[in-house]
Chain A
């Protein structure tokens, strides 16, 4: 260890300065943002019902931390359930549509049209289907939100294979199952992960908005609505903060999984180095 340290240290230092240069501006903006929130906005006379000071929001979070974290957990479970359900059904659909192209050609226009539908508009309807208090109404909204981007992206990944890649498999007399295993599915993974990252965000949106239309009083979205209705703005913002942090963490975990699974991908490699 000690023998390599002297030669390694300049490299480490250079790496550290490069990291500082890379992350410095973003951290600076973060600091300015927090300072603006805490001091500048109240000084400019922004009322607390518009945006309470950061310290008040943090205080509200600390006071209600047990309920907020429990609510966050409940809403995250709804979002995650919807994510898993929506993404896996979409992946299977994409496989089927890629395997039997006429079916895909027949259904795809409707899938793309459905993707443009504001699905959260259905939230009150799913409440009617599954019962307002049931987590399933939120799971289904989150799942439907995840479904379309994953389907459309995965299908594109499964079908955008170079013709020579397929000719090569044909020259090996490979059956369709093998073509999917060895070529189409690996080819679709970068597309799939782009969609999964989008889906992780959509799932949280779906679950929180689903909560807005009613649910277990403990759920995060329900807490936001009820806090606002009794003018507890600090508490509502604290809940929003929890929802945001959960959303960011969810996204980060998916992005991390992408890095691990796609370690062969040139773009990922370039990013790591």
Chain B
């Protein structure tokens, strides 16, 4: 028996504005528990919109979307997912500790319980010793780690990530990729990850969903059966390069010039 999908999208379309820009057309996607799914495609292909539809931050024009077997709206009200944006979106007036604790405050956790969880999260993202720092005192990579810790603090089963490492330099990005995989393995959560980097998508994912623009649609889904856990050697595996080529060709076949 297959487990209940975490996300189940059927015939999702999204049209913006009066002139009817079609951001998404006929999206069917099922995400199973524990999967790491990357949405890849050029800008304008609707990958961020699709992520926001899953998070009930954008309402689809047509189609049905279920998250953990409930409507996306219900799932949002139940705080079923954590979200990480390209910018860290930390609150400047809150210390690292208080930024991570924000969702826990909203959930009404006691002070002691919050402090305990924040301690665990700081350890998970390796930011111990930075509790009292303000966001502007941290590097871009550290800020994004705080943002990930905040998204994971209330243990959502689903993590939505919208190009979280897009603004980081190549070195930091690779380190963050490795950390994300470690966190994913430790927490056993399901991840939907938006990126425009082919190698990042192949390195991280269990499946890569290739999208194309005008109108935004899914053109192919490529399973990445590279062995787990992925390490720095994974990037040198001949199979890794074959898969990178496969994703690149799928992107070109989808009409990316």
CA distance A165 to B81 in the complex (A): 16
Interface stretch, picked from B20-28, B85-93, B116-124, B165-173, is B85-93
Interface mask (A140-159 → B, CB under 8 Å = 1, otherwise 0): 00000000000000000000
**Closest approach, in angstroms, between the C-beta of A87 and any C-beta of chain B?**
20
CA distance A166 to B136 in the complex (A): 20
Give the dominant DSSP class at B's interface.
loop
By a CB distance below 8 angstroms, the chain A residues around B134 are: 264, 266, 269
Interface mask (A177-189 → B, CB under 8 Å = 1, otherwise 0): 0100011001001
The answer on a CB contact under 8 Å between B92 and A167 is no
The answer on a CB contact under 8 Å between B106 and A172 is yes
**Closest approach, in angstroms, between the C-beta of B125 and any C-beta of chain A?**
17
The answer on a CB contact under 8 Å between A165 and B92 is no
CA distance A164 to B136 in the complex (A): 18
The answer on a CB contact under 8 Å between A167 and B83 is yes
Interface status of A27 (Cβ within 8 A of chain B): no
The answer on a CB contact under 8 Å between B102 and A171 is no
Interface status of A265 (Cβ within 8 A of chain B): yes
Contact of B92 among A172, A174, A265 (CB under 8 A): A265
Contact of A164 among B87, B92, B102, B103 (CB under 8 A): B87
The answer on a CB contact under 8 Å between B93 and A162 is no
Interface status of A70 (Cβ within 8 A of chain B): no
Candidate in B52, B77, B91 with the most chain A CB atoms within 10 angstroms: B91
CA distance A95 to B134 in the complex (A): 27
The size of the chain B interface, using a CB distance under 8 A, is 22
By a CB distance below 8 angstroms, the chain B residues around A265 are: 92-93
**Closest approach, in angstroms, between the C-beta of A187 and any C-beta of chain B?**
8
The answer on a CB contact under 8 Å between B103 and A172 is yes
**Closest approach, in angstroms, between the C-beta of B51 and any C-beta of chain A?**
11
CA distance A189 to B134 in the complex (A): 17
Interface status of A18 (Cβ within 8 A of chain B): no
**Closest approach, in angstroms, between the C-beta of A273 and any C-beta of chain B?**
12
The size of the chain A interface, using a CB distance under 8 A, is 19
The answer on a CB contact under 8 Å between B106 and A171 is no
CA distance A264 to B77 in the complex (A): 31
CA distance A168 to B103 in the complex (A): 10
Interface status of B196 (Cβ within 8 A of chain A): no
The answer on a CB contact under 8 Å between B92 and A170 is no
Interface status of B79 (Cβ within 8 A of chain A): yes
Q: Can you name 23 A-B pairs with beta carbons within 8 Å?
A: A162-B89, A164-B85, A165-B91, A167-B52, A167-B57, A167-B83, A167-B85, A170-B76, A171-B55, A171-B57, A171-B81, A171-B83, A172-B106, A173-B76, A178-B106, A182-B91, A182-B102, A182-B106, A186-B93, A264-B93, A264-B94, A264-B95, A264-B134
A residues with CB within 8 A of B:
162, 164-165, 167-168, 170-174, 178, 182-183, 186, 189, 264-266, 269
B residues with CB within 8 A of A:
52, 55, 57, 76-77, 79, 81-83, 85, 87, 89, 91-95, 102-103, 106, 134, 136
Minimum-distance CB pairs A-B, first 8: A266-B136, A164-B89, A186-B93, A164-B85, A264-B93, A173-B77, A171-B83, A172-B106
